A and B are shown apart, each in its own frame.
Chain A
Amino acid sequence: GESVGLHLPTLSVQEGDNSIINCAYSNSASDYFIWYKQESGKGPQFIIDIRSNMDKRQGQRVTVLLNKTVKHLSLQIAATQPGDSAVYFCAESVLRGATNKLIFGTGTLLAVQP
């Protein structure tokens, strides 16, 4: 899951297993959510998004689940591969005045063991 502090939570999985990365978001009024992947030395890369009128969305090997009741978001990666090793973080879109702003989580490090 996500947390503040200097050390990222780490999820270690075996190659070929499924991974589930969790995120607790802060604002019950948030209406749009994004998952990003950040590899070492690179910028955040968009993976998948979901709007609040949905509770599940699937992409290629990835699924995002949204539970608005408990303000929880998860990213499921099927058949995890070594190239999936990275930091994953969620972002929520919050309306501030007339503009939507993204609020980013701190991230989870996914370590894929061969």
Chain B
Amino acid sequence: DADVTQTPRNRITKTGKRIMLECSQTKGHDRMYWYRQDPGLGLRLIYYSFDVKDINKGEISDGYSVSRQAQAKFSLSLESAIPNQTALYFCATSDPARANQPQHFGDGTRLSIL
């Protein structure tokens, strides 16, 4: 979905490094989310934000932090990367205008921690 853009698409880094993954959207949605995807597991929610001043922890927030710089931008940081954070990371957005809306995903960042 070109409306949700994630950078970088791939990143290899070393244990202990600080990493930032960026997400920007042109959909005009207030709600943004960060997920990780691991083989054999469903998408798991890391953090979510319902507007610029709102940040909420998801089910697996330990070791991660986020920043909602603007309505269109939501970044995910790994302060000190560890190998078990190797995964595929997805950003998503949704429109709160109506109840029960699908989330729209970017194409992901493949992150490898050595």
Contacts and interface: CB of A to CB of B under 8 A. Distances in A.
Interface of A: 4-8, 31-32, 34, 36, 41-46, 49, 51, 89, 93, 99-107
Contacts of A100: 99-100
Contact of A89 (B4, B42, B45): B42
A53 to B, nearest CB: 11
Interface stretch (B13-21, B62-70, B73-81, B101-109): B101-109
Chain B contact-residue range equals 20 to 34
Interface of B: 1, 4, 39-45, 50, 56, 90, 99-100, 102-108
B100 A31 contact: yes
Contacts of A8: 40
B89 to A, nearest CB: 10
Contacts of B4: 43
Nearest to A2: B42
A51 B107 contact: no
B102 A34 contact: yes
B107 A42 contact: yes
8 contacts: A5-B40, A41-B107, A43-B1, A43-B4, A43-B105, A43-B107, A100-B100, A106-B42
A32 B50 CA distance: 19
A71 to B, nearest CB: 16
Given A43-B4, A103-B42, A104-B42, 8 more contacts: A6-B39, A6-B40, A32-B100, A34-B102, A43-B108, A44-B43, A46-B104, A104-B43
A99 B90 CA distance: 20
